[in-house]
Structure 1
Amino acid sequence: MKAIRIHEKGTIDNVNIEELPKPEIKPNQVLIKVKACGINPVDWKSTVYGYFEMPYTVGTDISGIIEAIGNEVTDYKIGDEIIGSLEWAKQGAFADYVATETKYISLKPKNLSFEEAAAVPLAALTAWQGLFDKLNVQAGQKVLIQAAAGGVGLFAVQFAKWKGAHVVGVASAKNEAFLKSLGVDAIIDYKTADFSKITADFDAVFDSMASSEQTIPLLKKGGNYVTITAKPSEDLVQKQGVTATHFLFHSDAEQLKTIANLIEQNHVKVFIDKQFKLTEAKDALKYQHEGRSRGKNVLVV
């Protein structure tokens, strides 16, 4: 089978297509014929900075069809269409086949294509966990979401609106109409806004752009800030009288099932920016690195 592999960190150009044997499954695993892979920022960053033990197959997000099951697996059957975010330390998504434990997968939303479905796991779980596990966002609260038109941001604004929050998105002006069509209440254009002049009346900030110096001062006293990038300074947090949390998402099949149900009920839409073939993974990672996508980028296997 084909797999997108890297043996040495330092540059995206170190990524190569290799031929590997089809994985053999353990009794508690399923074999998945991968149909598409979601691309996330960590995928290019790990090739440059070496987050994972080398060599490894790049990628964490998949959609596909179960082709074989181990004799201990009772919750899935051959032919099931699934999505998942694979075991973090091992990665392994960008390949024709994947072997995984079922705790990393959930049934694919029936109303999505495989390409759309592959865009869901990491980004949607990050948004869900940030908003509800860390920020504890409630109906009626005012929430600021950074990079609102990005992969995580688009899920975050839709989840927050579903919950009943008042959502302000930070994005470029070109995405204003698009975001308002999703229910976003107001847009801050990061290219022109003077954050120091914005009223400090937010209950929560979801930061994916290392913007703590700009966004923490927008919180009310006692407000909550969460970041998936750089940690804020402790001095700033104490000065503003807020709570700040830094977190890394974790794969969670039950949360993914809840998200899939919201997608099937049309509460949440999935947006694809660009699709690439598996063999174009190097170009896809470079495009992801540019960081100007509206929604998610996907590899089609």
Structure 2
Amino acid sequence: MRALIRTGDKSPETLTLDPNHPEPTPNDHPECYIIRTKACALTREELTWAEPKGPDAPVPGLDLAGEIISAPQSQGEHKFKPGDEVYALTTFTWKGNARDITVAHETELALKPEGLGWEETASVPLSALSAYQGLFVHGALKPPKEGKNTGKRVLITAASGGVGLWGVQLAHQAGADVVGTCGTSNVDFVKSLGVDTVLDYRKVDLLEWVSVDRAARGFDVVLDCIGGVTLTDAWKCAREGAKVVSVAEPPNPKRPEDGVAEGVLGVWFIVEPNGAQLAEVTDLLEQKKCQAVVDSVYELAQFEEAFKKLEEGHAKGKIILKVGA
């Protein structure tokens, strides 16, 4: 089978398309589903992530959309069956999904949303789960199915990016008052996602904007998707007892020495595969309360172009590798 593998250091230049890569089999992975990959999504800088238990020939693309070939060999009932169309964020410690045949655990999988194409489906898992866990697990907001977050204010930085656009949509569906930051060219796009207030960072200084009326404009939860100076400023925009949650870098080293409200906590986390949470996202997609956003699609053989686009930054949505027909 074909597989995109990394043969050297952690850079796109060491990627190669292996036409004869070993195919995963039920005997090799008795606890896993064997899946025919239809599409996978790429994540910026994923090639640089630590791999404490990684394979010898890493495969990128942790977002998966595909069709089940076989169920696990273990006895008992299985949630999915051959022929089911599924999607998932798969484990970070095994090979990714830029390959014709891949594997996934049952707890990682959810049924593919009806009405979504393979490429749109592959754009969802990592970004949506990062936003979901950032807001509802670590940020302590109530998820959409559990009630509204009346009076809660949420800041999403880099709101037009892969995680940010899901942060806006999920916080909006959860009933929070949502503020998002983005560049000039993406203002209308972020508005379309359901944001209550959009701040063009090229024209508006976030800290100054909040300082006009901190009591009214401050935030109960910050979901930071960019890090750096923006993360430092976010601490001063948080209300008493707020959570500053970052997927970009650990927030505590960015905490200013003064100007931070009492009881504000910083949280940094690594997203975890979770099929049950992904199923909640599926419901929102099927009800058209949320949308999947694809920046661009490349054939697997066009991986060099795809990674070039990825590393340039400023993609609106996800960059997808089309693997199967």
Q: TM-score, normalised by structure 1?
A: 0.93
1:265 equivalent in alignment to 2:287: yes
- Contact map agreement 1:85 1:251 (CA 8 A) in 2: yes
Residues 4 and 95, structure 1, Cα contact 8 Å, conserved in 2: yes
Task: Check if 1:229 corresponds to 2:273.
Answer: no
CA RMSD, 1 decimal:
1.8
Q: What SS does structure 2 have at the residue aligned with 1:106?
A: strand
Alignment match, 2:219: 202
Report which stretch shifted further, 200-209 or 71-80. 71-80
Identity of aligned residues (%): 30
Please tell me the residue identity of whatever aligns with 1:23.
P
The structure 2 residue matched to 1:147, chosen from 144, 153, 158, is 158
Cα distance in 1 between the residues matched to 2:221 and 2:30:
44
2:68 pairs with 1:89: no
Unaligned 5+ segments in structure 1 are none
Aligned equivalents of 2:98, 2:254: Cα separation in 1: 42
- Residue 124 of structure 1 aligns to a residue whose secondary structure is helix
The match for 2:105 among 87, 101, 108 is 101
Cα distance in structure 2, aligned partners of 1:238 and 1:89:
37
Distance in 1 between residues matched to 2:175 and 2:254, nearest whole Å: 32
Within 5 Å, which residues of 2 pair with 1:109-124? Answer: 109-124=113-128
More strand by share: 1
Structure 1 residue 17: deviation in Å? 0.3
User: Alpha-carbon deviation of 1:237?
Assistant: 6.2
Offset, 1:53: 4.8
User: Contact 1:44–1:288 at 8 Å: present in 2 too?
Assistant: no
> Is 2:180 aligned against 1:169?
yes
- Is residue 145–residue 156 contact of structure 1 (8 Å, CA) maintained in 2? yes
Question: Are the aligned partners of 1:277 and 1:299 in contact in 2 as well (CA < 8 Å)?
Answer: yes
**Aligned partners of 2:207 and 2:234 also within 8 Å:** no
Residue 16 of structure 2 is aligned to residue 16 of structure 1: yes
How big is each residue's C-alpha offset from its partner over 1:143-194, in whole Å with a ceiling of 9 and x where there is no partner? 1101101111111100000001111111012211222122211111122322
SS in 1 for 2:255: helix
Q: Any idea what SS the aligned residue of 1:245 has? A: strand
The separation in 2 between residues aligned to 1:194 and 1:64, in whole angstroms, is 43
Structure 1 segments, 4+ long, off by >4 Å, are 49-53
Unaligned runs of 5+ in 2: 142-148
Could you list the per-position Cα deviations for residues 242-301 of structure 1 after superposition, in whole angstroms to 9, with x for gaps in the alignment? 111001100011111111111111111111110011111222122111111111111101
Residue 282 (structure 1) aligned to one of 283, 289, 304:
304
Counterpart of 1:160? 171
C-alpha offsets along residues 212-259 of structure 1, whole Å, 9 cap, x if unaligned?
212111111221110012223458367413111001100011111111
Q: TM (normalized to structure 2)? A: 0.87
The alpha carbon displacement at 1:22 in A equals: 1.9
SS in 2 for 1:276: strand
Q: Which residue of 2 aligns with 1:128?
A: 132
The amino acid of 1:143's aligned partner reads V
Deviation at 1:14, TM superposition (A): 0.5
Number of matched residues?
299
Q: Deviations over 1:95-114 (max 9, x none)?
A: 00102222221110012111
Indicate if the aligned counterparts of 2:130 and 2:271 stay in contact, CA closer than 8 A. yes
Q: Could you tell me whether the CA contact under 8 Å between 2:10 and 2:48 is conserved in 1?
A: no
